[in-house]
Structure 1
Amino acid sequence: MSDDGLIVPEDEYGRIRVFALDMPPERADFLREPGAADQVLGLAGLDPTQIDVIRVADLEELGLTGYLTEGCGLSKEQIAPDRAMLEALDGYVLVLRSRAFKGAAAVLAPEPDVRLIATYDEPSPDWRAQPLRSDSAAPYSAPRLSPRAARAQARRIGGSLFAAVIVVIALVLWWGVF
Structure 2
Amino acid sequence: MEVTPTENGLIRLFSVDLPPEEITLFRTRSFDKDGEQSSWPLWDALDPTYLDEDFIEFCDIASLEDLGLTGYMTEGLGVSEVDVAQDAARLSAITGHVLIVFSSAFDGIAQTLTPRAPLRWIGTYREDKAPVVFAPLPSEAAKGILAPAAPAHPSPHLTLIWALLALPIVALFLAAVIYGVTR
* TM-score, length of structure 1 as denominator length: 0.69
Kindly indicate whether the alpha-carbon contact (under 8 Å) linking 2:48 and 2:113 is maintained by their aligned counterparts in 1. yes
Partner of 1:62 in structure 2? 67
RMSD: 2.5
Q: Tell whether 2:135 aligns with 1:130.
A: yes
Structure of larger gyration radius: 2
Q: Tell whether 2:5 aligns with 1:10.
A: yes
1:9 Cα deviation from its structure 2 partner = 1.3
For this pair of structures, how many residues does the alignment match? 141
Amino acid at match of 1:9: T
1:21 Cα deviation from its structure 2 partner = 0.9
1:36 Cα deviation from its structure 2 partner = 4.7
* TM-score, length of structure 2 as denominator length: 0.68
Q: Which runs of 5+ in 2 are unaligned?
A: 30-39, 153-183
Q: Aligned residues: percent identity? A: 37
1:141 Cα deviation from its structure 2 partner = 5.9
Partner of 1:38 in structure 2? 43
1:29 Cα deviation from its structure 2 partner = 2.5
Kindly indicate whether the alpha-carbon contact (under 8 Å) linking 1:29 and 1:53 is maintained by their aligned counterparts in 2. no
Q: Which runs of 5+ in 1 are unaligned?
A: 1-5, 151-178
Q: Deviations over 1:10-67 (max 9, x none)?
A: 2210101110111222332334435553222112431111111111111111111111
Partner of 2:145 in structure 1? 139
Q: Distance in 1 between matches of 2:24 and 2:58?
A: 7
Amino acid at match of 1:68: M
Secondary structure of the corresponding residue to residue 87 of structure 2:
helix
Q: Distance in 2 between matches of 1:94 and 1:116?
A: 9
